[in-house]
Amino acid sequence: MSERLADWTKGEQAVIYQTCTACGHVQYFRRAFCAACGASDSREQRASGKGRVYATSLVCRAATPETRAHVPYNILLVDCAEGFRMMAHGENDLAIGDEVSASFKRFAGKLVPFFAKDG
């Protein structure tokens, strides 16, 4: 297996995904193996940050003091160009089907991916 690349969950401004060198399966949640075929030689790569909005939910009621400071914030599911889906934040007026690109923002003390509409 290739060396682990740091991503936003580790505080780096990057979205990382894995491609199985045996079966070609693409996965976003990092594992030491391919969840489709079990092979242990997945390749880690940095994603382009390009994608399309699959779903949105504007959170208006948060559960912790840290997150409450940010309401309303828009939670997205984004279908990324490389073939995986991820959860992220984004502009409040995004709609399903919008073409978007990722940047990164601070949220409740951590770095999170934030998508904005292209063009």
Residue 16 in contact with another protein, rule: CB under 8 A: no
Distance, in Å, from the CA atom of 48 to the CA atom of 62, rounded to the nearest integer, reads 30
Distance, in Å, from the CA atom of 8 to the CA atom of 104, rounded to the nearest integer, reads 8
- Of 18-26, 27-35, 38-46, the window that binds another protein (rule: CB under 8 A) is 27-35
Binding residues with another protein: total (CB under 8 A)? 32
Task: Copy the structure tokens of residue 37.
Answer: 């075929």
CB-wise, 39 or 112, nearer to another protein?
112
Q: Which of 80, 93, 82 is nearest to 54 (CA)?
A: 80
Among 28, 33, 39, 50, binds another protein (CB under 8 A): 28
Tell me the residue length of the chain: 119
Distance, in Å, from the CA atom of 46 to the CA atom of 41, rounded to the nearest integer, reads 16
Site string for another protein, 71-110 (x = CB under 8 A): -xx-xxx-------xxxxx------x----------xx-x
Task: Copy the structure tokens of residue 93.
Answer: 């007026």
Q: Which residues bind another protein (CB under 8 A)?
A: 9, 28-30, 54-64, 67, 70, 72-73, 75-77, 85-89, 96, 107-108, 110, 112
